[in-house]
Every structure is written in C-alpha cells, then in structure tokens.
Structure 1
Amino acid sequence: MIDVIDAIKRAGRQVGDDGTTKTVTITRTYDAAVEDVWDACTDPERISRWFLPITGDLRPGGHYQLEGNAGGEILHCEPPRLLRLTWVMGDSPGRSEVEVRLTPGTDESTDFRLRHTAEVPPEFWSQYGPGAVGVGWDLTVLGLGLYLTGDPVGDPRAWERSEEARRFMTASGEAWRVAHETAGAPPEQAATMAANTIAFYVPADPQQT
C-alpha cells in the first residue's frame, strides 16, 4: 500500500505562466545515487519497468516514442545530470519541451527536477490549468521512486485504475491547485481548474479511465 499523503508531500510543485507559455516544475529527492537515477531515466529496458515501453534512436538528435503516449526529439544530453527533449502528444499544437536535471545530494541521494514548458491553447488552460500535465508527472515521479526502492506497482496502466491510484490522483490535483494559487492564480479559478482535472483523471465511473 502507498501512503498517498506522504507520496504527495515528497514532491515539490511550481507553476509558471508567461501568457501562452506555461511551465510546471516538479521536484523530489530520491535515496539513490545520481548514476542510478540517470540510468533508470535513460535506459530503455529500465524505463519500461516503471514508466512505458520506449523505442527510437535514444541519443541527441534522435527521436523517441513512448508506447501510447508522447514522442519527440532528444535535444540535449549530459550524463548523468541533464536531459532535454521535445514532448509531443498526437497533433498537439505549439512547442512543448521537458527538461530533467539531476543533482547529487548527500549520502548517495539525488535531487530530481523535471520542468515541462509548453505553448498551451488558452481554452485548454482555462479549463484544466497546470494539473492537466501535473497529475501525469506526479504519477511518473511516484513510479520512479517506487522502482528505485524496489517496490514498483507492477503494470502502471493497470495500477492507475485502482482505488489507491484514484486517491493519489485526487490528492495530486489538489496539490497542483495549491501550487497554482501560490503562483498567483485566483483561488476560485484555480479550484475550478483543479476540479475539472480531477474529474478527467478520476471519473465517477472508474471504467471510463
């Protein structure tokens, strides 16, 4: 069983809004050496254990594709510290980039920071806000943490339909509401966006997920 509240508290969240360009940043410290965290994030076989199967030319200038999810180009790679790539979902318009930065901590720990910057259509942002991608990244950061401690959830897609996952995604949506308010969003607006996001990820009928 996952302690949902503890898992949510382990991650830090920030929201940036520069007009049409939006940024969500999620941070967490892992009790693992930076080389191990880097390898877990870049080795195709290991990625499939905690995230999704990945294919492509996994080197700078190459293109990747996550099964049933995003694809894009690998823009920059500095092992074991920095990875930057484009993040394209279907025919989504606008520029979208993800940067993962790892910093060695003390006692074989690693500070992990993921920043997703994208040009977001105003109508989409006004409906869902930062939680639209933030909840997904929370799930990713959680999955990586469980994998690094040797306690993965098994099939991530199957787990995301569990009641435990529904509680986690609900708590994540609320956490992104708080981060959005902290960034200056009006509370009522942030609450509406968070409610829409939670309804998307956690529909009343679990069969809809």
Structure 2
Amino acid sequence: MIDIDHQINAVSRTVGSRVLDAGEARVITVSQTYPTDVDDLWDACTNPERIPRWFLPISGDLRLGGTYQFDGNAGGTIEKCDPPSSFAATWEYGGEVSWIEVTVSAVGDDKAQFTLEHIAHVDDERWTEFGPGAVGVGWDGGMLGLANYLASGQGLDPQESMEWQISDEGKRFNTLSSTQWRDAAIAAGEDQAAATAAADRTTAAYTATPE
C-alpha cells in the first residue's frame, strides 16, 4: 500500500513567475529527494527504457536537439542537456507550448534530489479557474511514480495505474495534492479565497469518476 501522507509531505512545491521574451510566465516547481545517487536518478529520468516504468511510454530521439513524445500526452524538443545535472525541453500539448527544466543534484553521499520547473504562459482567466494544481497535481503523480519505482525497482502497470487513479486511495492522493498546491499559491501571495475556490475546482476535475 502507498503511504500517501508520507509522499505528499516528501514533495516541495512552489509557485512563482518568470519574464520571458513573450512576456510574464507562471512557474510551478516540484522537488523531492530520493534514496539513490545522481547517476541513477539521472538515468531513471532520461533513459527511454526506464521512463515508462514510472511515468509514461516515450518515443523519439532523447538527445540535445532531438524530439520526444509521451503516449497520449505531451511532446517537444530537447533544448538543453548537461548530463548528469540538468536538461530543458519544450512541453507541447493541445496546441500550446510551455517549457520544463529538470535538475538533478546530490544530497549528501547517498541521496539525490529531482527538481522540475514547469514554465507556462497562462491567462488570468484560466489561472483563476484552476490555479497551479491544474498541472501540479499531474506532476505530483509523476513524483509518486518515481518514488515507487526507485524504492521497489518495479515498473508501472498501466491498467493498475488507471484503476488506482479512480480508487478511493487515488482520489485522496489527488485531493491532498490539490490542497498543497492551494497552500503554495497562497504562500506566493494569491488571495486565500480565490486560491481555495480554484483548488476545489481542480480537485473536482481530478477526482471525477469516468462515465
């Protein structure tokens, strides 16, 4: 059984902004320390044979300048790569382009930290409706998958993963994640009532039972 509370509390979440050439962008950041070394964590995050074991099946040319595609999800171009420390890529989905930046760093002698920043131009209307949890809850699921894989060595079973998402346990995880993103938004200066309303809508979206 997954220790949901432990996993939720193991992740650091922040909300911020960054000025790009095209204007101001929203930035959400997730970070977690794992019981492995930098080389292994880097390989788990960049090896096309290992990525599906904790995230999604992936295809493409995973090198600087190459393109990638996650099955049923985003794709993009790898714009920067500095093994085993960091990479950056576009994140293209639904006709929109955003960016991810991933950093892997050592924590002491026997642990390593994974940090992901997702940078996106999000209009005020959509941000007001769902807040950072719109994508943050999804990234929390990725952090959970990586934690389980590194701890057990066992890969994801796609069918079991889908069933877990709609189970009571999965819904509780997504609810707690959404609440944490609400708190991160408030800590970043968002109005408490507005952040709470956005989180409630995000929670409803992530915990709805498919028809």
Give secondary structure in 2 for the equivalent of 1:83: strand
Aligned to 1:11: 11
Aligned to 1:38: 42
Give secondary structure in 1 for the equivalent of 2:8: helix
Aligned to 2:100: 98
* Counterpart mapping for 1:52-131 below 5 A: 52-92=56-96, 95-131=97-133
Structure 2 unmatched runs, 5+: none
Give secondary structure in 1 for the equivalent of 2:104: strand
Aligned to 2:175: 170
Residue 157 of structure 1 deviates from its aligned partner by 3.1
Aligned to 1:179: 184
Cα-to-partner distance string for 1:140-199 (whole Å, 9 max, x where unaligned): 011001100015553233332222111100000000000000000010000001001101
**Separation in 1, partners of 2:61, 2:6:** 37
Give secondary structure in 2 for the equivalent of 1:61: coil
Instruction: Name the TM-score, length of structure 1 as normaliser.
Output: 0.93
**Separation in 2, partners of 1:25, 1:126:** 19
Task: Calculate percent identity across the aligned residue pairs.
Answer: 45
Q: Decide whether the 8 Å contact of 2:131 with 2:198 is kept in 1.
A: yes
Give secondary structure in 2 for the equivalent of 1:80: coil
Q: Decide whether the 8 Å contact of 2:52 with 2:156 is kept in 1.
A: no
Aligned to 1:26: 30
Match among 185, 189, 194 for residue 189 of structure 1 = 194
Instruction: Name the TM-score, length of structure 2 as normaliser.
Output: 0.92
Structure 1 runs of 4+ with >2 Å offset = 17-20, 151-159
Could you tell me which amino acid in structure 2 is paired with residue 81 of structure 1?
S
Cα-to-partner distance string for 1:81-112 (whole Å, 9 max, x where unaligned): 101100011212xx411011011111320011
Give secondary structure in 1 for the equivalent of 2:149: helix
State the Cα RMSD in Å.
1.5
Structure 1 unmatched runs, 5+: none
Could you tell me which amino acid in structure 1 is paired with residue 196 of structure 2?
A
- How many residues get paired? 204
Query: Which structure: greater strand fraction?
Result: 2
Residue 122 of structure 1 deviates from its aligned partner by 2.2
